[in-house]
Chain A
Amino acid sequence: MGLFDRHAGLLDAYRDVRTTGADPFQIRMERVLSPTEAIINGKKTLLVGTNNYFGLTFDPSCMEAAIEAIRAEGTGTTGSRIANGSYSEHVALEQEIAEFYGKKHCMVFTTGYQANLGIIATLVGPDDFLLIDADSHASIYDACKQTQAEVVRFKHNDPASLEARLRRIGDKPGNKLVVLEGIYSMLGDSAPLKEFVAVCKKHGAYVLVDEAHSMGALGEHGRGLSEAVGVLDDCHFIVGTFSKTLGAIGGYCVSDDPDFDILRVTTRSYMFTASLPPSIVASVRQALREVKARPELRKQLWDNVATLYDGLAAQGFKLGPEHGPVVGVHLPDRMTAIGFWRAMLDAGIYVNVAVPPATPNGVSLLRCSLCAVHTREQLEHMIEVMTGIGRQMGVLTPKLRVVGGNR
């Protein structure tokens, strides 16, 4: 048996995907022009699948901050915070994020994936219990493989399902950590966080919320779902990313726990990887200032969400359950999703295609993510194009004419 034989099934599925003539997993952006446009296959293409929620990747002040930091401190740190030490800017960034949340401590990671992986796997150990939502991100699932805690899944966004599992643990010794996400990345639905927090309180469980897709988008100050529903003080750990609203790369975790800093010498994904380069730290610090100073970006984002979601729903597309910066469009099967995706690309619109096993419940989706700086014209054009393709492909037949969403 060869090393790659075990991937035979996946190779077959991948070959299916490629028969459409384009490989959605190896798209080449020949040139990125702005937060909403790039040249793909020699053609100017509208980007509606890049998680660039506030469009800050081309913000002049963020770009200037990054350039200045490179001139002052060079291109990289060439080592981890533990081995090479921290730059003052790493520490300043951590203080600013902690302040943003009103929490005492913050740890910054080189990616959001590493933040979840390291924090979750390190917080719980032998004899502890880790409870995760069934639709959790891969970084959370991978953390489960790195911990010796007992891991149990509960039904997606179902506080009663979590409660049943906490009840079964009963008075067994061991800490209980519940991991939730503010907004889920595939369908854009948010967690019933207030209800979840009540269940966790009742059963003495710690709460960790991943606000990767909700930071910036939700809450009066953009802190995320925990702020929006008023439970920030009840969330023991908030994890987030710099690679979406903040337009760069990196991750963080904030907490009020007095012993939080011990994680710096126990969390392997923090200790054994190079720290963020000066340019990223500088652009993220500036982006955070922009998020605080320009709440209108949040309003623009949600206006765009409404335009796309309501526009597609009116045409009969079946969508995720509620308005969100991610709009998931359900399609009947994998090949239809890939064909639809390809037709959109040919028409100059880039979205993500999400097919099993990367999706919950085996659904096939076009995953659209909105940007505060998309124009209404861009989105109306997109709805028109999608409606045309949907009709051609028979996806918008009366039988499938389900109006998406009870909001």
Chain B
Amino acid sequence: MSDVQNQNGELLLRTAQNMIVENDDIADTLVLRRPPARAEVMAEICRQLEPFQADDGRTITGATVISKDLSIDSLAVMDMVMDLEDQFDVSIPMNVVAEIQTVDELADTILALSARR
């Protein structure tokens, strides 16, 4: 088995699972990635939150409180979480999302779920 790179240059780890040949047209390819680095997760969260940045020019940091410091409603937060889920191949239950306050907590949740995968 050898490691392969995807089109973004990320290193994908080939596992036994993605050798399974699915013969129906709805199967999604099973490619398990190595758990992402924290910096990668933070960068992606910040990129997603950028459009909701407050007018006062404060940059988004780990301590940013998502629902208070940004102009984003709870529905938009849940939609962003769906994108992050697919990007990092984890599912974050809705009750867990409800508890998350800061960017740091969101990143930690994603990292913890990836490590458990």
Q: List 16 A–B pairs whose Cβ atoms lie within 8 Å, in order of A's numbering.
A: A134-B79, A150-B93, A151-B93, A152-B91, A153-B82, A153-B94, A159-B26, A163-B27, A164-B85, A165-B91, A168-B89, A168-B90, A202-B26, A356-B75, A357-B75, A361-B79
A163 touches B78 (CB 8 A): no
Whether, in the assembled complex, B99 has its beta carbon less than 8 Å from a beta carbon of chain A, the answer is no
Which among B30, B85, B94 is the interface contact of A151 at CB below 8 angstroms? B94
Whether, in the assembled complex, B86 has its beta carbon less than 8 Å from a beta carbon of chain A, the answer is yes
Question: How far is it, in angstroms, between the C-alpha of A163 and the C-alpha of B26 when the chains are bound?
Answer: 8
Contacts A168-B89, A362-B76 hold; do A152 and B26 have CB atoms under 8 A apart?
Answer: no
Whether, in the assembled complex, B40 has its beta carbon less than 8 Å from a beta carbon of chain A, the answer is no
Which residues in A have their C-beta under 8 angstroms from that of B82? 134, 153-155, 161
B71-99 interface code vs A (CB 8 A; 1 in, 0 out): 00111101100100110011111110000
CB proximity of A172 to chain B, nearest CB, Å: 11
CB closest residue in chain A, given B81: A153
Question: How far is it, in angstroms, between the C-alpha of A173 and the C-alpha of B117 when the chains are bound?
Answer: 15
Which among A169, A199, A202 is the interface contact of B91 at CB below 8 angstroms? A169
A152 touches B78 (CB 8 A): no
Which residues in A have their C-beta under 8 angstroms from that of B74? 357
Which residues in A have their C-beta under 8 angstroms from that of B91? 152, 165, 168-169
**B86, B90, B94 pick with most chain A CB within 10 angstroms:** B94
Question: How far is it, in angstroms, between the C-alpha of A310 and the C-alpha of B93 when the chains are bound?
Answer: 41
Q: From residue 17 to 35 of chain B, which have CB atoms closer than 8 A to chain A?
A: 24, 26-28, 30
A120-160 interface code vs B (CB 8 A; 1 in, 0 out): 00000000000000100000000010000011111100011
Query: In the complex, how many residues of chain A place their beta carbon closer than 8 angstroms to a beta carbon of chain B?
Result: 25
CB proximity of B74 to chain A, nearest CB, Å: 8
CB closest residue in chain A, given B22: A202
CB closest residue in chain B, given A144: B94
CB closest residue in chain A, given B75: A357
Question: How far is it, in angstroms, between the C-alpha of A198 and the C-alpha of B94 when the chains are bound?
Answer: 25
CB closest residue in chain A, given B94: A151
Contacts A153-B78, A357-B75, A362-B75 hold; do A167 and B95 have CB atoms under 8 A apart?
Answer: no
Which residues in A have their C-beta under 8 angstroms from that of B24? 198, 202
Question: How far is it, in angstroms, between the C-alpha of A356 and the C-alpha of B75 when the chains are bound?
Answer: 9
Counting contact residues on chain B (CB < 8 A from A), the size range is 20 to 34
Question: How far is it, in angstroms, between the C-alpha of A161 and the C-alpha of B24 when the chains are bound?
Answer: 16
A195 touches B75 (CB 8 A): no
CB proximity of A159 to chain B, nearest CB, Å: 6
CB proximity of B61 to chain A, nearest CB, Å: 24
B76 touches A199 (CB 8 A): no
Which residues in B have their C-beta under 8 angstroms from that of A356? 73, 75
CB closest residue in chain B, given A360: B75
CB proximity of B35 to chain A, nearest CB, Å: 14
B86 touches A198 (CB 8 A): no
Which residues in B have their C-beta under 8 angstroms from that of A199? 26
Which among A134, A144, A198 is the interface contact of B26 at CB below 8 angstroms? A198
B90 touches A163 (CB 8 A): no
Question: How far is it, in angstroms, between the C-alpha of A154 and the C-alpha of B28 when the chains are bound?
Answer: 15
Which residues in B have their C-beta under 8 angstroms from that of A151? 93-95
Which residues in B have their C-beta under 8 angstroms from that of A155? 82
A154-194 interface code vs B (CB 8 A; 1 in, 0 out): 11000111011101110000000000000000000000000
Which among B26, B78, B93, B94 is the interface contact of A160 at CB below 8 angstroms? B26
CB proximity of B15 to chain A, nearest CB, Å: 13
Q: From residue 31 to 89 of chain B, which have CB atoms closer than 8 A to chain A?
A: 73-76, 78-79, 82, 85-86, 89
Which residues in A have their C-beta under 8 angstroms from that of B26? 159-160, 163, 195, 198-199, 202
B87-117 interface code vs A (CB 8 A; 1 in, 0 out): 0011111110000000000000000000001
